[in-house]
Amino acid sequence: MTRLLALFLLTTPLLADVEVPPRMLAPATAEESWNIIRLATASVERLIEEKRPLEVTSQISLLSPALRVLARQPVKAGTEALIERQSVQAFQLVNLIAQNSLSENIDALPPAFKKLRTTLDDIATGFEPAVVKAELHHCLTHSEILGKPGDKCPQCKQPLLPRRIPYSFIYARPKEPTTQLTITSKTPAEAGKEVTLTAKLQTLDGKPVVENHLWPMHTQRVQFLITGPRLEDFHHLPAKAASTPGDYTITFTPALSGTYRVRAGLTPAGTGIPEYPAADLSVAGNVPGIANHAPPGMSSEVAGYHLKLGVIGSKGLLLRSGQLQGLQLTIKDAAGQPVTRLEPFLQAFAHLNAFYEGSDTLLQLHPTGGDILRDDVRGGPDFTFKMFSPQPGPLRLYALIRIDGKILQAPFTLQVHP
């Protein structure tokens, strides 16, 4: 079936900023290929269900290298002609779905995807069920390491866990949460004073959430995002694991009195989808929130630096809910000159954290172009982010950058339109 290789049209440029394990782009076995097909088709199904056509391409394209490997595999006697015919059709359907995704033809996606699923079922008849349904395990830190249940990574000695990928690399949410958070403090929290919290992370059935069962996301397996009243105070903190499994210690100084929302950011290995379990913290004192909330605006100033956000792409200049859009962040100094000496932290030159008031929905955005893995490189002044906002309404956004070893935090208040 080597002639099938001529139909291999993987849309590589679209995957340039997608954080997928390298082996998913170059599977080596039939078992690995079927594992990728199952994961990617489940992702496509979810994206079609949520009417997010532009993101379908990055997931459906994962099928192409897997199908190419299957085209070279021996199949059951008597199925050769069927498998070859349906393999040709599968390649064609993958490309058709990718084209409809790029043109945002949402109506054409469900029937084409249904036909692809039937075609893949036909191809599966040429392979043993154990091969088609193989559950592969990998290392969360060294994703190139694959093995069987019970195996450990030869590099970090951590147990291998079932391989998963998020259905979206921009914004993904679990259908049902799998984790919960409670917080305690030995002393009452008070505005202007440092407080240390013990955060207990558990599964819904009460089991501790431990770090080696969580994906590392920009070097962190657990992070805490804390917002004050009306989202006017923000703290982005790494977690420090305590001696008790599932317990984490966080220390910060609340600037205001009132109710703070403490969110833990983590990605369970069992789903590959980020979760943000939350709990409230009451802060005493006489430092209420600012009476006049910051007006909507795409500009902010911090420590003499000017930061500006702009909506880019073909969707217009307004942020819209339910659409994949681009945001550009530009940093200039007090003299209006572009700043090109931003330092990387947490593997990126800039981070955007956005919150809806009265909602636990939040967005965490990182610049396109991949992680920054060297501390000596410098960047700026422009950074592009891909953004999907699931709902309309006011959005409080905090941009984090680092210059001269100091992390600067710039607030924005944006409006997401229906």
Give the pLDDT confidence of 326-336 residue by residue, as tens digits: 999 999 999 99
Give dist(CA 184, CA 350) in Å, integer.
Answer: 31
pLDDT band at 92 (very low <50, low <70, confident <90, very high): very high
Q: Does 26 share its domain with 100? A: yes
Give dist(CA 230, CA 78) in Å, integer.
Answer: 67
- Please tell me the predicted confidence (pLDDT) of residue 362: 92
- Please tell me the predicted confidence (pLDDT) of residue 243: 93
Nearest to 208 by CA among 281, 266, 138: 266
Q: Does 235 share its domain with 157? A: no
- 78-105: average pLDDT: 96
Report whether pLDDT(379) > 60: yes
Tokens matching residue 108: 């054409």
Give dist(CA 259, CA 243) in Å, integer.
Answer: 28
Nearest to 66 by CA among 148, 129, 144, 123: 123
- Please tell me the predicted confidence (pLDDT) of residue 213: 93
Domain boundary among 284, 310, 342: 284
- Please tell me the predicted confidence (pLDDT) of residue 10: 37
pLDDT band at 13 (very low <50, low <70, confident <90, very high): very low
pLDDT band at 5 (very low <50, low <70, confident <90, very high): very low
Residue 157 in any domain: the answer is: yes
Report whether pLDDT(144) > 60: yes
Residue 79 in any domain: the answer is: yes
Q: Does 340 share its domain with 265? A: no
- 172-179: average pLDDT: 94
The chain-wide mean pLDDT, for the chain, equals 91
pLDDT band at 290 (very low <50, low <70, confident <90, very high): low
C-alpha pair distances (Å), 313 with each of 2, 241, 386:
39, 42, 10
- Please tell me the predicted confidence (pLDDT) of residue 294: 55
pLDDT band at 353 (very low <50, low <70, confident <90, very high): very high
Q: Does 231 share its domain with 125? A: no
User: DSSP states of 203-221 as a string?
Assistant: ETTS-B--GGGB--BTTBS
Which residue shows structure tokens 């558990």? Answer: 202
In contact, 309 and 412? CB cutoff 8 Å: yes
In contact, 351 and 328? CB cutoff 8 Å: no
pTM above 0.75, yes or no: yes
Report whether pLDDT(7) > 60: no
- Please tell me the predicted confidence (pLDDT) of residue 293: 54
Give the pLDDT confidence of 224-251 residue by residue, as tens digits: 999 999 999 999 998 889 999 999 999 9
223: domain CATH number is 2.60.40.1930
- Please tell me the predicted confidence (pLDDT) of residue 369: 85
Domain boundary among 254, 284, 314: 284
Question: Edge-to-edge strands of the sheet including 146-147?
Answer: 146-147, 137-138, 161-162
- 162-174: average pLDDT: 92
- Please tell me the predicted confidence (pLDDT) of residue 6: 34
Residue ranges making up the domain that contains 326: 299-417
Report whether pLDDT(18) > 80: no
In contact, 229 and 285? CB cutoff 8 Å: no
Report whether pLDDT(219) > 60: yes
Residue 289 in any domain: the answer is: no
Report whether pLDDT(198) > 90: yes
Q: Does 155 share its domain with 36? A: yes
Give the DSSP H/E element, type plus range, for residue 99: helix 80-102
- Please tell me the predicted confidence (pLDDT) of residue 19: 61
In contact, 352 and 371? CB cutoff 8 Å: no
Find the range with the poorest average confidence among 6-10, 193-197, 273-277, 367-371.
6-10
pLDDT band at 396 (very low <50, low <70, confident <90, very high): very high
Q: Give the chain's length.
A: 418
378: domain CATH number is 2.60.40.1940
Say if residue 310 is exposed, middle or buried (CB neighbours under 10 Å; 0-12, 13-18, 19+). middle
C-alpha pair distances (Å), 381 with each of 112, 330, 336, 403:
42, 5, 11, 12
- 69-87: average pLDDT: 96
Total number of domains constituting the chain: 3
